[in-house]
Amino acid sequence: MKKTLTYCLLASIAVSFAACGNANKTDASAADSTGSSNEASSTTLNQLTNDPKGSPLHLYFNMNEVGQTDSSVIYDARSLYKNDTVGFKLEVLKNIDAGITAQNAPDNDLGFRVGSLRISSLGAVSDNFLKAVGDIYGLPAAGAMSSKTISPLVFSSNNEKVDLSKSKSYNFKLFFDQATGEPAEFFAVVDNYKKSFELSEKDSTFRQAFINALSGK
């Protein structure tokens, strides 16, 4: 119960992020947050981050749809770190309710859902991602990314239902569980126009927890 109440309080913080994100939603955009062209390329990958020393740190990925199930859309999320391709499989549910009410308040009943966004390993590419995160953070991150699907608690920071068939961007707040300690809090943007995915840490205090979540620890 205490954890649930904590999430509900954190949802109110996510509203300000959502208000900004929803104001910028469009079927067309001039440039993305990395400063690159708004047309995704199947051959040119974004750099994982344009500011490795940044805090909060922003991670960018090209997002390529590779399949669908009855309930979800599956993407390859990839980028470059130094000379390595890094990334993971990203699965996004098709039916994600709005988490922000018409009164611009968090909907704690409909807004939260475990596994609305899921991350899973692509093998060596994902192991490279874990190592890259550790390198950027200056923290040990040896070994492989977890072989299990990572299903964070997700708050939909949107004032409309997510429709992945539309060329729009959608904002989320993610809570990545680790074996012990508080979850790592991240913001995420799924942009179906720019074909990009963005992960941004709430602040640098969640870095070890994020590595633990990726490692399955």
Adjacency order of strands within the sheet including 196-201: 112-114, 153-156, 169-176, 184-191, 196-201, 58-68, 72-81, 84-93, 117-120
Q: Does residue 29 form part of some domain?
A: no
Q: Does residue 132 form part of some domain?
A: yes
Q: In this predicted model, what pLDDT tens digit does every residue of 90-136 receive, in sequence order?
A: 999 999 999 999 999 999 999 999 999 999 999 999 999 999 999 99
CA-based end-to-end distance of the chain: 23
Q: Does residue 101 form part of some domain?
A: yes
Q: In this predicted model, what pLDDT tens digit does every residue of 132-165 receive, in sequence order?
A: 999 999 999 989 999 999 999 999 999 999 999 9
Q: Does residue 142 form part of some domain?
A: yes
Name residue 171's amino acid.
Answer: N
pTM, whole model, 2 decimals?
Answer: 0.82
**Domain limits for position 96:** 2-23+45-215
Q: Does residue 39 form part of some domain?
A: no
Q: In this predicted model, what pLDDT tens digit does every residue of 47-96 receive, in sequence order?
A: 999 999 988 999 999 999 999 999 999 999 999 999 999 999 999 999 99
Q: Total domain count for the chain?
A: 1
Give strand ranges (E) for 130-213: 153-156, 169-176, 184-191, 196-201
Q: Does residue 86 form part of some domain?
A: yes
